[in-house]
Amino acid sequence: MSVAAPGGTTAAGAPGAGAPAVHQVLATLGYGDAIGHEVLGIQKVLRAAGYRSDIFVETADSRLEDLTRDYRDLIDEATPETVLIHHFSIGSRASRVAYALPGRMILVYHNITPPVYFAGIHPLLVELCYLGRRELGAYASRCALALGDSEFNRQELVDLGFPRTDVLPVVPSFEHLDVVPDRTMAQAFDDGWTNLLFVGRVIPNKKIENVIRHFHAYKQRHNPRSRLLLVGSSGGFERYFAMLQKLIADLGAHDVHFLGHVSDAELAAYYEVADLFLCASEHEGFCVPLMEAFHVGLPVVAYAATAIPATMDGGGVLYTDTDPAHVAAIVDAVVSDPDLEAHIVEAQDAALARLLARDFAGLVRGFVEQVRAMPPQPAPPVAFDFWDRFAFTQQLEELHQYRPGAYGALPPPVDAAKGSTATAAP
């Protein structure tokens, strides 16, 4: 039989039913991405500290669904004493519900990519990023505390008028790389050639086209026995992927390998066979793969944009001139000079040590205690019919999903402002 311990935990250390609740809410929990790792890390810290802490989402990767709850369950769960840690990275229904619920809120801002990067490539994401950036400002008065996961992100919060801000730094766990590598695919590239690697989603702000141009210049000018390994999903960005394929054809580039989304064990193997990490991304809130490269001792050459210089913190090599010949010369200097490479890796090790020395668990606990000590927040200002409209939308979605024929037979809704009908949307 468990005996209740101070703070509402059991003697075994598990949070008891009477423990205070500190829940997390976000649009989606992804497998292997930076936000997902941070969310799970925060939950581990909170539960160890004696809090009840669940993760509420709209969607989750199938491999993580059993770790989450539906965001609609939070409607009955939240009370004025609940602390909500709201991870904001895009406009979503989960975000709007979190805004409307009682309880103190800590907002963790992971940055929203400027929608211009997706224009002509992913219209829905243009809309979501635009709405997300517009919605973000509304949280300035809703949050007890707003945290950027980098100083770059915190400064954006300040610029938007958030009165109380701080930094909860991304302190990555590398457990996903400390596994037995799965070399089934990677072993084909372990042949004495120079392997340049980039890890990240194949999306426009990552500027994969520039990575390809830099690699092509390096291969043509310096090292014909080289290849480029691109690890990351292109799902949802098929148009951008096709544009990259056309670029490769137009350049006459060879040995560019798109490897898609891989398992942790496969990722560890690709880091193992790589000789240099090449990044050309123009917009990052932090960029965890840079730290993964630091962790495995892989020299990094990266474009000095947005949060990247602060993330690298004196490690690696930064460039500002994006001329492919210039970047190719930097890459060649690093991979062809063992002493220079050793010096770069030594600086990366020091930067990583500074990052890992930050007390992530202590910061999480401190921020939560700070917010719990504040007086309860007033009810958030929402439209009088917010919950009625929310319930109606849920009914429409269920009808659309389970009875599409009946949904299609619905009359178009009336646009009261224009006195006309509008097309129904799921």
- Residue of higher predicted confidence among 119 and 387: 119
Q: Does residue 303 sit within a domain?
A: yes
On whether both 148 and 221 belong to a single domain, the answer is no
In this structure, are 165 and 202 located in the same domain?
Answer: no
Query: pLDDT at position 406, please?
Result: 64
At residue 394 the predicted structure's pLDDT band, cuts being 50, 70 and 90, is: low
- Residue 408 CB contacts under 8 Å (≥ 6 apart), including other chains: none
Residue 364 and residue 276 in one domain: no
In-domain check, residue 4: no
- Cross-strand pairs, 23: 84
| 149 shares a domain with 87 | yes
**Residue 38 belongs to some domain of the structure:** yes
Confidence of residue 271 (pLDDT cuts 50, 70, 90): very high
For residues 390 and 368, membership in a common domain is answered with no
171 vs 338, more confident: 338
- 54 lies in the same domain as 119: yes
Specify the pLDDT at position 4: 38
Which residues, including other chains, have CB under 8 Å from residue 320's CB and lie 6 or more apart? 303, 304
Residue 227 belongs to what H/E stretch? strand 226-231
For residue 154, count CB atoms less than 10 angstroms from its CB and return exposed for 0-12, middle for 13-18, buried for 19 or more: buried
pLDDT band, residue 397 (cuts 50/70/90): low
Residue entry with tokens 């970047």: 327
Q: What is the pLDDT of residues 283-306, one digit of tens each?
A: 999 999 999 999 999 999 999 999
pLDDT digits (tens, 9 = 90+) for 212-231: 999 999 999 999 999 999 99
Mean pLDDT of 152-179: 92
* Res 272 pLDDT > 60: yes
Strands (E), 248-379: 256-260, 276-279, 300-303, 317-319
Same domain flag for 314 and 402: no
Q: Is 7 within a domain?
A: no
Does some domain include residue 9?
no
Predicted pLDDT of residue 351: 97
Say what the pLDDT of residue 135 is.
Answer: 87
Q: What is the mean pLDDT of the chain?
A: 88
Tell me: do 208 and 258 sit in the same domain: yes
Q: What is the mean pLDDT of residues 309-319?
A: 97
Q: Are residues 200 and 348 in the same domain?
A: yes
Are both 144 and 163 inside the same structural domain? yes
Q: For 91-97, what is the mean pLDDT?
A: 83
The verdict on 363 and 348 lying in the same domain is no
Token readout for 253 is 């580039």
Q: What pLDDT, on the 0 to 100 scale, is given for residue 336?
A: 98
Residues spanned by the domain of 133: 15-171+359-372
User: CB 80: neighbour CB atoms within 10 A?
Assistant: 12
Query: Which uninterrupted H or E stretch holds 426?
Result: none
pLDDT at 398: 60
Residue 205 banded pLDDT, cuts 50, 70, 90? very high
Give the CATH number for residue 291.
3.40.50.2000
Higher pLDDT, 68 or 395: 68
Are 165 and 286 part of one and the same domain?
no
> What total number of domains does the chain contain?
3
Evaluate whether residue 239 is within a structural domain: yes
Mean pLDDT on 49-71 = 92
pTM summary value: 0.81
Helix (H, G, I), strand (E, B) or coil at 226: strand
36: confidence class by pLDDT, cuts 50, 70, 90 = confident
Classify residue 6: in a domain, yes or no.
Answer: no
